[in-house]
Structure 1
Amino acid sequence: MALVRFVLRSVVEILVLPVTILQYIGMWDPLYKRFFPHVMSRVTVTLNKKMGKVKKELFDKLPDFASSSGLTILEVGCGTGANFHFYPWGCKVTCVDPNPNFEGFLRQSDTENKHVKLETFIQASGEDMHQVASGSIDVVVCTLVLCSVRNIDLVLKEIIRVLRPGGAFFFIEHVVAEKTGWLNFFQHVLQPAWRYFGDGCSLTKDTGTNLEKAKFSELNLKYTTERLAFNLIHDHIVGYGVK
């Protein structure tokens, strides 16, 4: 089975070779980063319908971590602002995303969600959020983001840095399927193409392991299932970690 997977994966790598070349010469990312936000503005409508119950149940806990001056949220990989609808009234949100082309969609989401105040948009990766002061944030949020970062452990380290003592990191992330199943097989086979058309997304990350190793004083994590993205994504982790 391992040999078959290797052969099929190699075929996929050959099929996406033109994109690999475009990536190598620096032409793919600029084009894709302009196009991707338009796709996500449509896709997130469907995602919110499918994951809405999970998001509501999780984000209903956000006010528990508010400071005396109100709730401050830092959303890493904010995209189009799809989570704004689920945030509590009066919260102040700072958004971080490496793709500047999301900002226009983000401002539109802010306009449509009057109960949320968008403080600022920061163009940065989750691995380096030096613009955000240490210990300044009540809650950090990531939803379907850690699958696409280059270094999960470094992102988690930055998240813990910016959180105030007692603050919390809320997450909803998809993870690799069980090793013994066919879904795991196809996730590995298709990954060479998926990374290009999924904005760097990896179908094969086991993000729960990284969270368990991170230095949270308390970690509340559970597994759930929801089929997304042509049924290639099935298993998710949901919860929050307290600094």
Structure 2
Amino acid sequence: MVLASCLQRCVRLLLLPLHLLARLGAWGSFYKRVFPYIMAKVAPLYNHKVCKQKQELFSNLRKFAGPSGQLTLLEIGTGTGTNFQFYPPGCRLTCADPNPHFRKFLLKSLSENRHVKLEHLVVASGEKLHQIRDGTVDVVVCTLVLCSVTNVQKVLAEVLRVLRLGGAFYFLEHVAADHSSWTYFWQKVCDPAWKYFGDGCSLSRETEKELEKTNFSELNLRRIRVTPYWIPTSPHIIGYAVK
């Protein structure tokens, strides 16, 4: 990985102007406004690639509905709302995202998916879901979010806190490739730039290990590839965990 380290240093040098803007707070405030427009274009393309996987993943959501038969679902990092189409009719939805500039795209998606009912819209990161009470959620959903949060452990601790006993956490995340692979090589090289243009996203995060360390009673997880192996975001994990 010596070559990867050298190339990574070169990338960091090229990114020095962005780094300075970020330290001054200018890049973050600018990109938070721009990022939702980028995702409004990119997310549907990604959804098309993983449509079958998402359909399969969310096919048993109703299994975790509460005693009333209604499903109370919290989505962390809702973004533009590309998952709404996969949720069952009558689903009671709470959306949490730290970026308020996603709001208009999220509301547009809701207008196109009237089978779900929005109950709460919370501007908050996954690490700080204080507005949601303990044990009040049947299902938590998180797709392409754990790669960019500040602290995965804190997010998963919040997931466990808000889930009722027997509730489930559904996830679909791109993760670090095998450390001996060329994919991982390019992940390490591209990581510095990816964090700036992916709103804090890390290509080489070991999310699978964090899930295994979390105190879930059951973990159903498998690895998949969404794109050709040479694309840094190719390796994914998909599944659900039960509290």
Q: How does 1:220-231 map to 2 (within 5 A)?
A: 220-227=220-227, 231=231
Partner of 2:5: 6
- Following superposition, the deviation at residue 228 of structure 1 comes to 7.6
- 1-side partners of 2:228 and 2:3: how far apart? 25
Partner of 1:54: 53
What is the letter of the counterpart of residue 91 of structure 1? C
| 1:126 aligned counterpart, secondary structure | coil
For 1:162-195, what per-residue CA distance to the aligned partner results, in whole angstroms no more than 9, with x for missing partners?
Answer: 0001000000011111111111111101111110
RMSD: 1.2
Partner of 1:167: 167
Structure 2 gap ranges (5+): none
Partner of 1:64: 63
Partner of 2:31: 32
| Larger fraction in strand | 1
Partner of 2:73: 73
| 2:234 aligned counterpart, secondary structure | strand
Structure 1 gap ranges (5+): none
What is the letter of the counterpart of residue 24 of structure 2? I
- 2-side partners of 1:27 and 1:228: how far apart? 35
- 1-side partners of 2:185 and 2:202: how far apart? 14
Structure 1 runs of 4+ with >6 Å offset: none
| 1:60 aligned counterpart, secondary structure | helix
TM-score between both structures, scaled by the size of structure 1: 0.97
Asked whether the equivalents of residues 229 and 235 of structure 2 are also in contact (C-alpha less than 8 Å), the reply is no
For 1:125-167, what per-residue CA distance to the aligned partner results, in whole angstroms no more than 9, with x for missing partners?
Answer: 1011000000000000000110001110110000000000100
Q: Is 1:112 aligned with 2:104?
A: no
- 1-side partners of 2:230 and 2:36: how far apart? 19
For 1:27-84, what per-residue CA distance to the aligned partner results, in whole angstroms no more than 9, with x for missing partners?
Answer: 0111000000011011111011001000000101100000133001000000000000
| 1:61 aligned counterpart, secondary structure | helix
- Following superposition, the deviation at residue 7 of structure 1 comes to 1.1
What is the letter of the counterpart of residue 208 of structure 1? E
Partner of 2:204: 204
What is the letter of the counterpart of residue 42 of structure 2? V
What is the letter of the counterpart of residue 115 of structure 1? H
Structure 2 vs 1, CA of residues 169 and 202 (structure 1 numbering), >3 Å: closer, same or farther? same
Q: Is 1:84 aligned with 2:77?
A: no
Percent of counterpart pairs with the same letter? 52
What is the letter of the counterpart of residue 25 of structure 1? L
TM-score between both structures, scaled by the size of structure 2: 0.97
- Following superposition, the deviation at residue 201 of structure 1 comes to 0.5
- 1-side partners of 2:229 and 2:2: how far apart? 26
Asked whether the equivalents of residues 139 and 167 of structure 2 are also in contact (C-alpha less than 8 Å), the reply is yes
- 2-side partners of 1:158 and 1:149: how far apart? 13
